[in-house]
Amino acid sequence: MRETGYKGILLEQNKEPLLSRGIRELERLPVQEAFFSEERPDPAQLNASRLQNIAYEAQIIDESDGVQLWKKLAKASRDGALAIVVDALDDEPYISSQLCIALWMDDELEDAITIVKDALGIERAVVEIYRNLTDIDIRIPSKIGNYRVRRVGGTYPAELRVRKNESKLLIIGACALIHLYRAVTRCRIQTTAFVSVAGDCIANPANYEIPLDCTVAQVLSASGLIAPPKRIVTGGSMTGIGVTDPTSVRVRPATRGILAFAEQFDDLGFSCIGCGRCVDVCPQGLSPYFVHKLLRAHRRGTARRAAEGCNCCGACSYVCPAKLDLSHRIYEVAADGRRGGEET
């Protein structure tokens, strides 16, 4: 019997109200356009270095991993990437800005892929979209223009499972591609981010194009609140960062979502009963139960070894019936172990 098979969890996606409309702008937060140059390049004449230059000038940052796009392009042309993978996975609930682009801005996305493909001389390109059983009613096209859409099914987290050898792939987020398209066709600098604004406090949940550097509080009030939020999150619902002061946190190029929930997690005073669900779901085949026990007994050394390989997907905390804060602590220990490993 395999103990480390890929497991993960099936999550309710909650993407529906966001995906039924396209990307919109908030009236109270108008988009200010800015341009880095007057002369527009001819998309057909681009080569790799010119494209990198444009990406650099337009200050585009890839939202899927927070890396500057020109660096990724440079690396791909240096390594001779075999294929372009357009990241429109959106495997976390609520977050759907990439998917929304793939569904509603498919012409621009297609042109953007063509531009990158021609400029870098890469043969193949594929768009990856995640879907699972809970949102069957979302219609995902089998092709975007000429490019194949690869549907990734199964459980959360999907990203790990589909990316086996990253070194020969050029993975670009869908939002970054749109920004690149705008930069190439209109010399526009990235001044916005595509953000999913959702949660049960939001009056109009949708994917918005939001100017960079506005605060989370501005975004929330502009999109309308129906209840005072108890928890605000920037980023994904599974891996995002909890916001303590919404007036000081600003929208960044890599911000994927702003979520506001009315419900507060109470400490129910439960202790671990060893149900083993965290072990059942861990995609890395770890035993969060074991690590938790070790950590509580202050055996950090052994815990470090037992936690190696944690990627902080949050699945264990999600399923835990005792509502323990597992993933955070385990990731901390695992990161600690990695640092220790590098030093020796």
Partner 1 sequence: MNDLSAVFSALAAGIILQNVVLARAFFSEDPNRFSRTYRGTLRLGLITAAVAVLATVFAVALRQLFAQALLWAPARWAAYFCCVAVSFLLLRPLFARLLNGRHGVSDKGLLYAAFNGAVYGIVLLSMANYTSPLLAIVYALGCSIGLTAAQLLIHAGSERISLSAVPRPFAGLPILLIYIGILSLAIYGLVGHQLPT
Partner 2 sequence: MILNPQSPPHIRTRETNATLMGDTIISLLPLYAMATYFYGGRALLLGLTGLLTALISDMACTMIAGRVPNLRDFSAAVTGLILPLLMPASIRYSIVIVAVIFAIVVAKQPFGGVGENIFNPAAAGMAFAIVCWPAEVFTYPAPFEKIPIKLAADTAIRTATSPAQALALGGLPNQTPLDLLMGNVPGPMGTTNILVLLTCLLYLTVRRTVHGRATLAFLAGGAAVAVLFPRAGGLAALYELMSGMLLFAAIYMLNDPVTSPKRSAPMLLYSAMTGVLSIMFRHLGRYEESVIFALLVMNSTVWLLDLWGERVARRERRKAHGAQTDPGLPQETGVHVGDPEE
252 binds partner 1 (CB under 8 A): no
The phi and psi torsions of 99 (rounded to 5 degrees) equal -65, -40
3-state class (DSSP) for residue 205: coil
89 lines the binding site for partner 2 (CB under 8 A): no
Site residue total, partner 1 (CB under 8 A): 5
Q: Which is nearer to partner 2, 141 or 274 (CB)?
A: 274
Which of 168, 230 has the CB closer to partner 2? 230
Instruction: Select the binding partner of residue 264 from partner 1, partner 2, none (C-beta < 5 to 8 A, by kind).
Output: partner 2
Are the CB atoms for 234 and 260 separated by under 8 Å? no
Describe the strand order of the beta sheet including 24-25 as a list of residue ranges.
24-25, 206-211, 192-198, 257-261, 231-234, 241-243
Q: What is the CA radius of gyration of the chain?
A: 21
Residue 78 is classified by DSSP as H
**Is-cis flag, bond preceding 253, omega within 30?**
no
155/287 with CB nearer partner 2? 287
Residue from 37, 49, 146, 302 in contact with partner 2 (CB under 8 A)? 302
Contact status: 323 vs partner 2 (CB under 8 A): yes
Amino acid at 82: L
Cα–Cα distance, 61 to 67 (Å, whole number):
6
Q: Minimum distance between the CB of residue 42 and partner 2, rounded to whole angstroms? A: 43
Beta-sheet pairing, 231-234 with 143-144: unpaired
299 lies in the site for partner 1, by CB under 8 A: yes
Mark residues 233-252: x for contact with partner 2 by CB under 8 A, - for none.
x--xxxxxxxxxxxx-----
Q: Residue 253's binding partner, choosing from partner 2, partner 1, none, with beta-carbon cut-off 5 to 8 A by kind? A: none
For residues 275-294, which are near partner 1 according to CB under 8 A? 293-294
Q: Is 258 in the site for partner 2 (CB under 8 A)?
A: no
Residues paired with residue 86 on neighbouring β-strands, in sequence order = 127, 172
- Please identify which residue in 24, 71, 161, 338 interacts with partner 2, judged by CB under 8 A: 338
Question: With CB under 8 A as the contact rule, which of the stretches 86-94, 119-127, 296-304, 316-324 interacts with partner 1?
Answer: 296-304
Query: Cα–Cα distance between 91 and 152 in angstroms, integer?
Result: 9
Go through the chain and tell me how many residues it has.
344
Answer for the pair 326, 310: CB distance below 8 angstroms, yes or no.
no
Identify which of residues 107 and 263 has a Cβ nearer to partner 2 in the complex.
263
The answer to the question of residue 297 lying near partner 1 (CB under 8 A) is yes
CB 179 within 8 A of CB 49: no
Are residues 107 and 115 in contact, defined by beta-carbon separation less than 8 angstroms? no
Binding residue for partner 1, selected from 296, 323, 328, 339, defined by CB under 8 A: 296
Q: Which residue has the tokens 């975007």?
A: 144
Q: At its nearest, how many Å lie between partner 1 and the CB of residue 271? A: 8
- Sites for partner 1 among residues 78-107 (CB under 8 A): none
- Using rule CB under 8 A, residue 339 touches partner 1: no
Residue placing its CB nearer to partner 2 in the complex, 18 or 60: 18
Residues of this chain that bind partner 1 (CB under 8 A): 293-294, 296-297, 299
